Structure 1
Amino acid sequence: DGLVVEGAEGGGFKNPEEVSTLVLLQAIRRATPVPLIAAGGIVDGRGMASAFAVGAEAVQMGTRFVSAAESPVHANYKAAIVAAGVTGTVVLNKKSSPCIRALKTNRTAAIAETGLMPADTFSRILDLYFGGDMEAAVGLAGQSAGLIDTVRPVADIIADTVAEFFAETARLGAMARAGDFG
């Protein structure tokens, strides 16, 4: 048993209250001892270490792996993720349901302006994901898109994430042992 805890930074369907992953993890850790899998805003070992520090036992990196070399989505979708800055996503449909986080495009700008998501928003999602038409639908992605600067093989993503996690936790451990937090 366990829970996936995804904050507002994550791509896809969201709670309109926009609680961040770090805050949500801490709140849920206080409420239950079950294993927690952190999601939303995590693309590397540094993000993994921060999630572990507030109670997670594992991480889920959706946007990072959607943009991986082996991902079956179209190269245009991967390129849009790589090109997005940290402000390259938008939360849509906050006042009704479903509330989602997606990449900023002309289509999402129009939806954000009206505040209403058309009924056909997802009717052509396959044309976006597999056909590469970035205006066919809304491309779901998390704020972590702004931290992704290249399409990389999954094996490299995992190896680098684990290595960075160990380096970061070792750095924090050394700081704690030395009492050096300045």
Structure 2
Amino acid sequence: AGNPERYTEELKNAGLTVFHVVPSLGAAKKAVACGVDGLVVEGGEGGGFKNPREVASMVLLPLVRSQVDVPIIAAGGFVDGRSMAAAFALGAEGVQMGTRMVSAVESPVHENWKNAVIQAKETDTVFLNRHASPALRALRTKKTSRLEYDTETNAMTEFGTALDLYFGGDMEASIALSGQVCGRIDAVRPVAEIIAEVRDQFFQEIGRLAADYLP
């Protein structure tokens, strides 16, 4: 994320493969022009720091795919093999699952955060700071609900003490970043189990589509 002009050349000269996170077609074109090897195309459903003019993955992925010729990893709204199959249909070669992995067994964040994710509904995130920068999507808490429609306050000034949230479990100490897929996560599970299930369901879904719709 950020300005691809800043480090892309230096990183590639060091022998690294560079994938740049982009929230819009304009940002994607700029990153490709700077020589990145690929893109992480992140829709507005995703958690974390966002473009204040967010675009859903369903719109953004095929739009970027139609105008760039580098590998794409889809982010924002992807949580299982079914959504992975959708991402591939929209032009991606892989998916990034941030919220799913934050709530995995191996994730170092506090159990209170993981439990908040699995208890959340699909409507239990808030989009903050649309009027400022950076915007961000987070779990709904007392703090984030208070900030949701506050156009006078930059939410970053209220970010608080992240360590007390991440490792202390105080859900009001900071802002717990999360994507809308929290509403589709119902258990804290090991990473290996998640990956295996995503893989198997992905192949099942593309097989089902082929069987149902190919002549």
Report TM bin, short chain.
over 0.9
Identity score, percent: 57
TM-score calculated relative to the size of structure 1: 0.95
Q: Describe the superposition over 1:74-105 as per-residue Cα deviations: whole angstroms up to 9, x where unpaired.
A: 00000011111000101001011010000000
Equivalent-residue separation in structure 1 for 2:90 and 2:41 (angstroms): 12
Partner of 2:202: 165
Aligned length: 178
* Corresponding position: 1:67 with 2:103: yes
* Corresponding position: 1:56 with 2:98: no
Equivalent-residue separation in structure 2 for 1:167 and 1:77 (angstroms): 31
Gaps of 5+ in 1: none
Partner of 1:148: 185
TM-score calculated relative to the size of structure 2: 0.80
Equivalent-residue separation in structure 2 for 1:72 and 1:100 (angstroms): 21
Q: Describe the superposition over 1:103-130 as per-residue Cα deviations: whole angstroms up to 9, x where unpaired.
A: 0000001111323234543340111111
4+ runs of 1 displaced by more than 6 Å? none
* Corresponding position: 1:21 with 2:53: no
- Alignment RMSD, CA only? 1.0
Q: What secondary structure sits across from 1:160 in the alignment? A: helix
Gaps of 5+ in 2: 1-36
Q: What secondary structure sits across from 1:64 in the alignment? A: helix
**Residue 57 of structure 2 aligns to which amino acid in structure 1?**
T
**Residue 47 of structure 1 aligns to which amino acid in structure 2?**
S
Partner of 1:137: 174
Partner of 1:92: 128
Equivalent-residue separation in structure 1 for 2:149 and 2:64 (angstroms): 34
Which of 1 and 2 has higher RCO (CA within 8 Å, sep 6+)? 1
More moved, 107-116 vs 135-144:
107-116
